[in-house]
Amino acid sequence: MSRCPLALVVLAAMAASAAPESKTPPDDPVYVLLRTDRKAFAEEVSKDATSESGRAKAVILWLTQHMDWQPTDYKQRTVQEVIERRGGNCNDLARVALEAMKELHLRLRRVHDVHVRTPSPGRGERAHALVKEKGNGYSIFGRHHNDHVWLEVYDSAAREWYPVDPWSGLAGLDEWMKARVWFGKRTSLAPDAAEMIVPIGIFAADDGDRFSIDRTNHYLVDEFDRLYGGRLHGLPAWSRWVALLDQLDDKVKGAFAGTTNLHDSESQIDSLAATYHELRSEARRLPGGER
């Protein structure tokens, strides 16, 4: 008699014992609300908030703290399927957050960025293979870059959009900037936060859910400089930083649309990463510069 069935049972038991437990049990009452009544869920987790930003932060923090990270497997899932799975990747969590926050009558839009990431030759090889197999849309990740999805919420009092990210628990402009862009110590709940160095292109979704609204200069030029009291634009590396962002901007947008292979711009991405590190060194020599 073959021993394969017994071996399979043993392997399955080992895999089950090694699998990490979910952050949230299936009978958690708030999770049950998320699964069965999105409006009741959103109202419950934000019941103590007194502002639009407070309500948005309450929702995304709950999702960050209670939904599990799941690696991207390129399967299309509905929001309900993501919730039943009790987790997903950044895009999955952004879609769940979007549906929940709509129940609070917040004005929202999805945001897609490409960012410099800790280099990984293996990721680069996988990305090049996917581009060859499935097209340019898969060039949004590569050896030295990756993509990320989050949200913007409209602040009706300030008349401005601000970032919220259920992947990392970030809500608000300064909180997001200090976790994604600035040179000082960063705080984020994202499982891969240490590898996310700095965005290089940021686009918000239009009414047709196409990532066509350019937010790159807003975050990576105007707000970046503001964060340092308007002193960055006087640094030697600043003009090169702005020029490289400008060169890459349409290429990032084209990659989102599937019309541009971002891997053709890997040398520019490397240059922008090096320029960011130069800026950091220069900024640290400013009076009161971040260490």
What are the tokens at 100? 């929940």
- Residue 52 CA to residue 220 CA, distance in Å, equals 25
Q: How far apart are CA 191 and CA 168, in angstroms?
A: 8
Residues 250, 218 share a domain:
yes
Q: How far is CA 224 from the centre of its chain?
A: 18
**Into how many domains does the chain fold?**
2
Residue with tokens 């807003």: 218
Whether 85 and 127 share a structural domain? no
Boundary (domain end) residue, out of 73, 105, 137: 105
Tell me whether residue 62 is in a domain. yes
Residue 64 and residue 167 in contact, taking contact as beta carbons nearer than 8 Å: yes
Below-70 pLDDT ranges, the chain: 1-20, 289-291
Residue 175 in contact with residue 160, Cβ under 8 Å? no
Q: What is the pLDDT of residue 290?
A: 58
Are residues 75 and 175 located together in one domain of the fold?
no
Distance of CA 5 to the CA centre of its chain: 42
Structure tokens at 127: 């990305």
What's the full length of the chain, in residues? Answer: 291
Same domain, 181 and 234: yes
Structure tokens at 26: 């299936």
DSSP structural state of residue 221? I
**Do 158 and 45 sit in the same domain of this protein?**
no
Instruction: Give residue 239's domain range.
Output: 107-291
In a domain, 142, yes or no: yes
248 shares a domain with 200: yes
Of 84, 105, 126, the one marking the end of a domain is 105
Helices (H), the chain: 4-18, 29-36, 38-45, 52-66, 79-85, 90-102, 121-134, 173-180, 216-217, 223-227, 238-257, 266-284
Residue linked to tokens 């390129």: 74
Residues 48 and 96 reside in one and the same domain: yes
Is the residue at 17 inside a domain?
no
- 36 and 157, same domain (yes or no): no
Token pair listed for 54: 């407070």
pLDDT of residue 289: 62
Same domain (yes/no): 44, 122: no
Given a contact cutoff of 8 angstroms between Cβ atoms, the answer to whether 196 and 190 are in contact is: yes
Comparing C-alpha atoms, which of 210, 199, 209 is closest to residue 176?
199
The verdict on 143 and 117 lying in the same domain is yes
Please identify, among 71, 105, 139, the residue that sits at the C-terminal boundary of a domain.
Answer: 105
- Residue 86 DSSP one-character state: T
pLDDT digits (tens, 9 = 90+) for 173-215: 999 999 999 999 999 999 999 999 999 999 999 998 899 999 9
Distances, alpha carbon 37 to alpha carbons 32, 33, 68, 274, in Å: 8, 5, 20, 48
Nearest Cα residue to 166 out of 71, 94, 79: 94
pLDDT at residue 83 in the model:
97
Output the domain CATH number for residue 78: 3.10.620.30
Q: Do residues 135 and 279 share a domain?
A: yes
Angle 99-105-108 (CA atoms, 0-180°, nearest 5)?
A: 60
Whether residues 225 and 166 share a domain: the answer is yes
140 assigned to some structural domain: yes
